[in-house]
Amino acid sequence: MTTTAQRARVSVVDRLRWEIRDALVITKRNLLKYIRVPTLLVFSTVQPVMFVLLFAFVFGGAIPLQGGLDYVDFLMPGIFIQTSLFGSTNTGVGLAEDMNKGLVDRFRSLPMSRSAVLAGRTVSDSARNLFVVTLMTIVGYIIGFNFQNGLLNAAFAIGLVLAFGYAFTWISATIGLAIKDVESVQAASFIWIFPLTFASSAFVPVESMTSWLQVFSRNNPITHAVNGARYLVLGEPWGAMSDVWITLVWTVALLAIFIPLAVSNYRKAV
């Protein structure tokens, strides 16, 4: 038996190792849920795939694009971002569920790292996002989508989508731990993510919006993220390298704000 005193005196390196190990234990536990409840995976992926098809076929003919670009090519980067943001709301819901089932109490009474439950949750939700985005890409390819900027940029585009979504999982975690009620968390996430996403360049060019909305939309971080992804997928003029940088700055800034907030909410969770 390891004595408690030994466990208490640990170096910084050990602590970091344990922090990662604890987070992986939690990640594994969260991902097991998708294996144990396959319907969850099916239905949570059906919706994004349906969105791809609906948007492509409903708006496809109605939205004229510069240079005659296929709408599906325009759509895919936008819908990647939208899916990744909507997917991030699962983080808050999952944490609220764990809290209501008393699991958070159990975790908090264990000598595990304080951030592992949150890190594990955000990482597993991002893993799920990766799965969904991959699936959507396949569906996109079936209906005529193409990465037009090489494989490397395609990988960067997916990376950008996931990184931006990852920042939002921490916002969602902060909200989930503050509100605690599963259904309220769900609703509370959508009332801001929904308008923010639709008032961006995700589905239609900003130029097609009414003028006051254009002002908002151009400064919307989601527009930058979509344009950044679009730049990596399609190249100019659908976005610019500056959009990629701005998106990364937003990502880092959001993480810097919401990781401490979420961890603090977790410590205080009752």
Partner 1 sequence: MSAPIISATGITKSFGDVHALTGVDLEVQAGTVYGLLGPNGAGKTTMVRVLTTLLKPDAGKATVAGYDVVTQAAQLRTTIGLAGQYAAVDEILTGRENLEMVGRLYHLSPGESRDRAEEILERFDLTHAAGRTVKTYSGGMRRRLDLAASLVGRPQVLFLDEPTTGLDPRSRLGLWEFIERLVEGGTTLLLTTQYLEEADRLADRIAVIDKGAVIAEGTSDELKGTIGGDVLELEIADPANLQLAIGAVEGMCCGEATVDELRNIVRVPVETAVGTITDAVRRLDTAGVKLVDIAIHRPTLDDVFLSLTGESVEDALPADDELVTANSRKRSRR
Binding site for partner 1 (CB under 8 A): 1-2, 4, 7-8, 18, 21-22, 25, 29, 32-33, 36-37, 101-103, 105-112, 116, 270
**Shortest distance, position 32 Cβ to partner 1, whole Å:** 6
- If the CB atoms of residues 70 and 97 are measured against partner 1, the closer one turns out to be 97
Q: What is the 3-state secondary structure (H, E, C) of the chain?
A: CCCHHHHHCCCHHHHHHHHHHHHHHHHHHHHHHHHHCHHHHHHHHHHHHHHHHHHHHHHCCCCCCHHHCCHHHHHHHHHHHHHHHHHHHHHHHHHHHHHHCCHHHHHHHCCCCCCHHHHHHHHHHHHHHHHHHHHHHHHHHHCCCCCCCHHHHHHHHHHHHHHHHHHHHHHHHHHHHHHCCHHHHHHHHHHHHHHHHHCCCCCCCHHHCCHHHHHHHHHCHHHHHHHHHHHHHHCCCCCCHHHHHHHHHHHHHHHHHHHHHHHHHHHHCC
Q: How far is the CB of 5 from partner 1 (least distance, A)?
A: 8
Name the minimum Å distance from CB 184 to partner 1: 20
**Closest distance of CB 101 from partner 1, Å:** 7
CB-wise, 44 or 214, nearer to partner 1? 44
Q: Of 29 and 218, which has the nearer Cβ to partner 1?
A: 29
Shortest separation between residue 120's beta carbon and partner 1, angstroms: 11
- Closer residue to partner 1 (CB): 7 or 64: 7
Give 4 or 210: the residue with its C-beta nearer to partner 1: 4
Q: How far is the CB of 171 from partner 1 (least distance, A)?
A: 25
If the CB atoms of residues 33 and 249 are measured against partner 1, the closer one turns out to be 33
